[in-house]
Amino acid sequence: MASDAIIPFRVSIPQEEIDDLRQRLTRARWPEKEPVGDWSQGVPLARLKALVDHWRDHYDWRRCEAALNANPNYKTEIDGLDIHFIHRRSSRADAIPILMTHGWPGSVVELLGVIEALAEPEDPGVPAFHVIAPSLPGYGFSGRPAETGWNHEHIARAWAELMRRLGYESWVAQGGDWGAVVTITLATHAPRGLKGVHLNMAVIYPPADMETPTPEEQKVIDDLKWHVKWDSAYQRVQGTRPQTLGYSLSDSPVGQAAWIYEKCYAWTDNDGEPEQALSMDQMLDNISLYWFTNTGGSSARLYWELGDGFTPGQVDLPVGVSLFPREILRPSRRWVDRYWSHVAYWKAVDRGGHFAAWEEPDLFVAEMRACFGLEAFR
């Protein structure tokens, strides 16, 4: 394709790949049952077997494919890499262009439940949005980088170029997880046209010189310590040996399912059952996307690209933050104010976890309308 061309794209997985998946699931070799009675060693055998049985015997990928194709999909080449994105334009003349970036282990599937409501609200008095939702490099239907260097800084520059190509002269950005890192990097760069950003995960850690923490801040600190000790092995593996991990994720759909299913348990707002937050079909939509695009390894490399970690830069553009109670990182306002001079919207909501738009689509849409309806973002 020409270097700046925008080409329509349609998701279409060959039937033989779907048949191959079912055959692999039928031939799965299982480890012994875990010697504990909970998730402390990882996904319990019985839970994963139930998920895989549903995947093999009842799950319908064509339904997910149709949901993806219900939105206009495109590809464009930026810096030598094909970037896939959904571009759902609103019928409203006053619609706000919003660039929405997913994270790991997510994909644009996370956003399918909010795109239409954002683009075509029933109430003419609330904001409408032109939704632009790209797949991160190495994720989903975007290209897989063949060279190093596609880190969050590079992605932020590519996203600014994407918005320029689409002809948007005034726009906002939103993200969680990796999407939050990319979105804050965009805000730090402040490219032409960017009016402000919203985050459902504010990537601000407790400051080293912090005064005596409040009880709420201490709870966040304690939760982070637990996360680092017990729930961050994925980050160390993906950040140091993504290629080694990729062999297993590329060859075993059961392994790919377990790698993501565990995070659906650990990071959603549930009482011990991930299916309380996301249905089996919802989780398998995302797992299947990773499997059919063979991006388990390439998506992991983004952690390697981060290197020594992410340090937020100074942001002077308007920032909105929605704090979901089961999010991994929930900084206090005074931590955030050290870096971001204009926090125009700040709200703690009463439910939801790391995958905000996926878990709580109605609440997420309401937060987007409340935040970007403010004069500060115009």
Q: What is the pLDDT of residues 214-258, one digit of tens each?
A: 999 999 999 999 999 999 999 999 999 999 999 999 999 999 999
Query: pLDDT tier at 143 (50, 70, 90 boundaries)?
Result: very high
Residue 87 a catalytic site member: no
Spatial distance between the Cα atoms of 153 and 348, rounded to a whole number of angstroms: 29
Query: Does residue 59 carry a pLDDT above 90?
Result: yes
**How confident is the model at residue 308, as a pLDDT?**
74
- Considering the chain, what percentage of its residues have pLDDT values greater than 90? 94
Tokens of residue 168, six digits: 């948007």
Spatial distance between the Cα atoms of 286 and 108, rounded to a whole number of angstroms: 9
Topology of domain 6-29+38-377 in CATH is Rossmann fold (3.40.50)
Cβ proximity of 25 and 251 under 8 Å: no
Peptide bond into 8 cis (omega under 30): no
Q: Per the residue annotation, which of 177, 285, 290, 339 is the catalytic one?
A: 177
Cβ proximity of 119 and 128 under 8 Å: yes
Q: What is the pLDDT of residues 308-339, one digit of tens each?
A: 778 888 899 999 999 999 999 999 999 999 88
Q: What is the pLDDT of residues 356-376, one digit of tens each?
A: 999 999 999 999 999 999 999
Spatial distance between the Cα atoms of 242 and 73, rounded to a whole number of angstroms: 29
Mean pLDDT within 65-85? 98
Q: What is the pLDDT of residues 274-287, one digit of tens each?
A: 999 999 999 999 99
Mean pLDDT within 151-157? 97
Residue 342 a catalytic site member: no
Mean pLDDT of the chain: 96
Query: Does residue 2 carry a pLDDT above 70?
Result: no
Lowest mean pLDDT among 63-72, 204-213, 291-300, 325-334: 204-213
Burial 97-130 (b: 16+ CB within 10 A, else e): bbbbbbbbbbbbbbbbbbbbbbbebeeeeebbbb
Spatial distance between the Cα atoms of 371 and 322, rounded to a whole number of angstroms: 9
**How confident is the model at residue 310, as a pLDDT?**
85
Mean pLDDT within 162-180? 98
Q: Per the residue annotation, which of 234, 290, 303, 345 is the catalytic one?
A: 303
Residue 168 a catalytic site member: no
Q: Is 96 exposed, middle or buried (0-12, 13-18, 19+ CB in 10 A)?
A: buried
